[in-house]
Amino acid sequence: MLLIAVSFDATPKPIAETAPNLLAILAPSYFALACLFAAGISLQRPNFKIQAHAQALIDITAIALLLLSSGGVKGGLGILMVVSLASASILLPRRIAFAFAAYATLIVFGQQIYLQLQMLVAEDAYTHAGLLGMIFFACTAIVGALADKARLSEALAHQRGKALADMQHLARYVIERMQTGVAVINAQEQIWLINESGRKLLGLTDPEQPIPLEQAAPQLAEQFRQWRQAPHEQSQRFRPPHQEIEIHPRFAHLSEHQGSIIFLEDTTAIASQAQQLKLASMGRLAGSIAHEIRNPLGAISHASQLLAESPHLDKADQRLTQIIRQNCLRTNAIIENTLQLGRRQQPNTTTFELTQWMHNFVEDFCQSEKIAPHFIQLTVPETDVHIAFDTSQLHQILWNLCHNGARHSRQHCGEPRLELRVDSDPDHSNYHLDICDQGPGVPIEERDNIFEPFFTTENTGTGLGLYIARELSECNHSRLNIIPSDHGGACFRLSFPDMRRRRYNA
């Protein structure tokens, strides 16, 4: 504005009354410096500290020269310095701001003395200069105090914002790493957010956008609708499609507009704890009756052996003593297996590489069972597979399954053919081991009972082999199931636990 006024010789009074030539130099120079400062702010060069000091100094000096060309402080233009000093109080430390206030006061008094010595003004204005200096210091003190308070508030807000961000990050990390699945359902019954455990339990990939709950888990969607109609009804366990686990859902409202939240709990751990209690009870029961059964059983077996040595028995009686001994042995095997369940200790879980372990197991099994290696087909991934399991218990599980499979295959097709496959889910997070034979298979009506204790279809069996194998699997957070076979025979799948979820539990 000064530059335009000077260019058109239209400066209002009292501007340029005392020294018009000074204003002609000051206006374009001040405008050029303003443009230079604007470019420096845009480019952020030089640094903030240098620019703040330089702009405050130039502003105060330029206004002082404007006062000098306009007859001093009585012209009323000195108040313009308050704006520059207030800006300096906000941007610069308190000590530097007071230094600029002192500089402005001295320069006002200095130009007043100069004007009076040069007789460019008719009367002195030292009172006005003194009042103006007081205003400079008062403004600097007040604005500086307000700026300090604003800076403290800003620092506190920044600190609280950082703490809130850290808490949000921590909460998101904890929810993402929880073993319990957490899914947020919006008003359109779509999965809006879901943590990693929830994705694993429902067999989902990381969704880029909300997906319908009906598409992800139809059974869960049906229970969700029932819960919305009757919130106090007890939810039921369900098994997701293509999953071998049971999930117990729990529902809760978020708000009227934010939808609902579903907690998905894998019941495998709870079932494992229940099994441990059941095994402990069975152990106490087995220990209390073992001696009561073994003593008369030993007497019967010993008496049958002595009776069989008698020369007065015919072949029919010899056959009866043989039946007695066989059933004594079978009864003793049942007692041994029951005691073994009762003495079951917590698994000594270790992390090991499964591929090489499987090669060693097959070689050991073939040598012990006198089976040619080509009768057992082993398929393993090319990459290393690491699982967490008790190796001795895994050996016992596989030995039981392979022994049964080889026996059934030999009875059905004359050869002990077995197929062992180690495979994984598409995302390579969960691995499983399939043990398939070439036997007659398991009838559909018996598949729900084969893992029950003392269930057997053979006269010589105890009915505890598969039961013990499943118990050992669940002790290691794994799952043993029978699955359909493409080539006939029976096929058992041992699903190993997710290593990532085991790390989170630890």
For residue range 150-193, what is the model confidence (pLDDT) as tens digits? 889 999 999 999 999 999 888 888 888 888 889 888 888 888 88
Residue 153: per-residue pLDDT: 92
Which residues, at least 6 apart from 76, have a Cβ–Cβ distance to it below 8 Å? none
- Range of lowest pLDDT (65-74, 393-402, 419-428, 453-462): 453-462
Cα–Cα distances (Å) from 332 to 10, 257, 464, 471, in that order, read 122, 66, 13, 21
Task: Give yes or no for residue 503 having a pLDDT over 60.
Answer: no
Which residues, at least 6 apart from 381, have a Cβ–Cβ distance to it below 8 Å? 355, 422, 423, 424
Residue 286: per-residue pLDDT: 65
Question: How far apart are alpha carbons 299 and 288 in whole angstroms?
Answer: 19
Average pLDDT of span 429-442? 87
- Range of lowest pLDDT (64-68, 89-93, 129-133, 288-292): 288-292
List 265's β-bridge partners, or say none: 248
Tens digit of each residue's pLDDT (9 = 90 or more) over 215-229: 888 889 899 988 988
Tens digit of each residue's pLDDT (9 = 90 or more) over 352-391: 999 999 999 999 999 888 899 889 999 998 888 889 898 8
Residue 296: per-residue pLDDT: 83
- Range of lowest pLDDT (129-143, 294-308, 358-372, 393-407): 294-308
- Which pair of structure tokens corresponds to residue 498? 């997710």
Question: How far apart are alpha carbons 462 and 455 in whole angstroms?
Answer: 8
Task: Give yes or no for residue 250 having a pLDDT over 70.
Answer: yes
Task: Give yes or no for residue 102 having a pLDDT over 50.
Answer: yes
- Residue where the block lists tokens 């429902």: 202
Could you give the count of Cα atoms lying within 13 Å of 375 in the half-sphere of its Cβ?
22
Average pLDDT of span 100-120? 85
Average pLDDT of span 258-275? 78
pLDDT-derived band of residue 110, with 50, 70 and 90 as boundaries?
Answer: confident
Question: Contact, 390 vs 350, CB < 8 A?
Answer: yes
Average pLDDT of span 388-400? 88
Average pLDDT of span 442-459? 75
Alpha-helical runs (H) found in 181-314: 196-202, 213-216, 218-229, 268-308
In degrees and rounded to multiples of 5, residue 499 shows phi and psi of -60, -35
Question: How far apart are alpha carbons 369 and 172 in whole angstroms?
Answer: 53
Which residues, at least 6 apart from 101, have a Cβ–Cβ distance to it below 8 Å? 85, 133, 136, 137, 139, 140
Coil, strand or helix at 307 = helix
Question: Contact, 283 vs 341, CB < 8 A?
Answer: yes
Tens digit of each residue's pLDDT (9 = 90 or more) over 318-341: 888 888 887 787 677 667 666 665
Question: How far apart are alpha carbons 60 and 77 in whole angstroms?
Answer: 12
Residue 505: per-residue pLDDT: 44
Tens digit of each residue's pLDDT (9 = 90 or more) over 22-81: 878 888 888 899 899 899 888 888 888 899 899 999 999 988 888 888 777 777 788 889
Residue 99: per-residue pLDDT: 93
Task: Give yes or no for residue 502 having a pLDDT over 90.
Answer: no
- Which pair of structure tokens corresponds to residue 290? 């073992």
- Which pair of structure tokens corresponds to residue 62? 């330029």
DSSP states of 394-462: HHHHHHHHHHHHHHHHHHHHSS--EEEEEEE-TTS--EEEEEEESS----GGGTTTTTSTT--SSTT--
Nearest to 260 by CA among 330, 308, 188, 210: 188
Q: What is the 3-state secondary structure (H, E, C) of 328-340?
A: HHHHHHHHHHHHH
- Eight-class DSSP state of 27: H
Question: How far apart are alpha carbons 269 and 476 in whole angstroms?
Answer: 10
Average pLDDT, rounded, for the chain: 82
Residue 342: per-residue pLDDT: 57
Read off the amino acid at residue 466.
L
Question: How far apart are alpha carbons 235 and 254 in whole angstroms?
Answer: 18
Residue 98: per-residue pLDDT: 93
Question: How far apart are alpha carbons 93 and 144 in whole angstroms?
Answer: 8
Which residues, at least 6 apart from 353, have a Cβ–Cβ distance to it below 8 Å? 384, 385, 386
Percent of the chain with pLDDT over 90: 19
Question: How far apart are alpha carbons 406 and 150 in whole angstroms?
Answer: 82
Residue 16: per-residue pLDDT: 67
Average pLDDT of span 381-405? 88
List of domains in the chain: 2-156 (no CATH), 179-266 (3.30.450.20), 276-342 (1.10.287), 350-505 (3.30.565.10)
Higher pLDDT, 122 or 391: 391
Residue 418: per-residue pLDDT: 92
pLDDT-derived band of residue 141, with 50, 70 and 90 as boundaries?
Answer: very high
Nearest to 376 by CA among 410, 326, 329: 410
Question: How far apart are alpha carbons 465 and 481 in whole angstroms?
Answer: 14
